[in-house]
């Protein structure tokens, strides 16, 4: 590959720079080429293209050590351009294209994964909220039904209390309910009976009175015409 470099140096000892080397500039150039080959040869292509600062530091240290006997101090080394061969450029372009494609696929997959996770989390939260809503609705409905039943029972108890008091049941709703059930049973029996005459328990007093009247008519000397006080 072709490399363009710039070297900054100082003449610390002009005598040595004059007598220790025949051509100072050519000597520094040759040392730079040798050090550059050694430094770049120890690196792969990717590091060579991306590690210019490291290469600069290594070159400066190597040149400074080699030019001390010439009375020269290497201050700085800068690589201006690194130009690999054309076939390597094509290979690098293909590699970069493949790497970009791989990164795009990975990024797309990670995005789809994150989207799927978010959708699942959303569905989970929605299901939890719906379940909580149904639970609260069922609880409220049950409480409402219980309160309604309690109110109806209280209203019926109060109504029965009022009715029982008005009917003279001494304010006892139970007696009123028994009496009402008794009358309803009598009505049902009377509607279904054809040949049987049913008399309620309270009619026994009337039957006793009729029996007493019959005994009075059958007493001797009770009167003409068989009636009381006759003659």
Residues 201-225: tens digit of each pLDDT: 555 555 555 555 555 555 555 444 4
DSSP 108-172: HHHHHHHHHHHHHHHHHHHHHHHHHHHHHHHHHHHHHHHHHHHHHHHHHHHHHHHHHHHTTSTT-
Let me know whether 63 and 128 are in one domain: no
Q: In the chain, which ranges are continuous DSSP H helix?
A: 14-19, 24-41, 45-50, 52-66, 86-166, 173-192, 204-217
Q: Is the dihedral of CA 174, 177, 183, 189 positive or negative?
A: negative
Q: Is residue 63 part of a domain?
A: yes
pLDDT tens by residue, 66-85:
888 888 888 888 888 877 77
pLDDT of 223 reads 45
β-pair partners for 79: 5
pTM: 0.39
Q: Residue 70 and residue 8: Cα distance in Å, rounded?
A: 15
Distance, CA of 159 to CA of 166 (rounded, Å): 11
Residues 60 and 147 in one domain: no
Residues 67 and 93 both lie in one domain: no
Would residue 223 count as lying in a domain? Answer: no
Task: Indicate the average pLDDT of the chain.
Answer: 76
Count of structural domains within the chain: 2
CA distance 175 to 124: 60
Cβ proximity of 129 and 142 under 8 Å: no
Domain that holds residue 20: 2-84
Spatial CA neighbour of 14 closest among 4, 24, 28: 24
196 and 123 in a common domain: yes
Residues 122, 128, 131, 132: is their CA dihedral positive or negative?
negative
| CA distance readout (Å), 68 to 36, 71, 79, 108 | 18, 5, 22, 57
Q: 186 falls in which pLDDT band (50, 70, 90)?
A: low
Task: Tell me, yes or no, whether 103 and 189 share the same domain.
Answer: yes
């Amino acid at each position: 590959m072709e490399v363009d470099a710039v070297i900054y140096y100082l003449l610390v000892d002009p005598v040595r720079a004059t007598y220790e080397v025949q051509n100072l500039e050519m000597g520094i150039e040759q040392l730079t080429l040798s050090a550059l080959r050694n430094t770049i040869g120890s690196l792969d292509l990717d590091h060579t293209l991306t590690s210019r600062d490291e290469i600069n530091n290594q070159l400066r240290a190597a040149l400074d050590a080699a030019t001390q006997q010439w009375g020269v101090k290497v201050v700085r080394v800068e690589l201006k351009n690194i130009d690999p061969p054309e076939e390597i450029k094509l290979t690098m372009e293909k590699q970069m294209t493949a790497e970009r494609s791989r990164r795009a696929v990975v990024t797309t997959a990670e995005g789809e994964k994150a989207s799927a996770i978010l959708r699942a989390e959303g569905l989970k939260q929605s299901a939890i909220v719906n379940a909580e809503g149904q639970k609260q609705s069922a609880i409220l409905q049950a409480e409402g039904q219980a309160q309604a039943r309690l109110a109806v029972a209280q209203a019926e108890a109060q109504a029965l209390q009022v009715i029982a008091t008005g009917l003279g049941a001494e304010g006892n709703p139970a007696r009123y309910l028994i009496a009402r059930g008794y009358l309803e049973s009598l009505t049902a029996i009377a509607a279904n009976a054809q040949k049987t005459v049913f008399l309620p328990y309270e009619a026994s007093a009337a039957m006793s009175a009729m029996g007493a009247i019959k005994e009075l008519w059958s007493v001797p000397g009770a009167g003409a015409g068989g009636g009381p006080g006759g003659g």
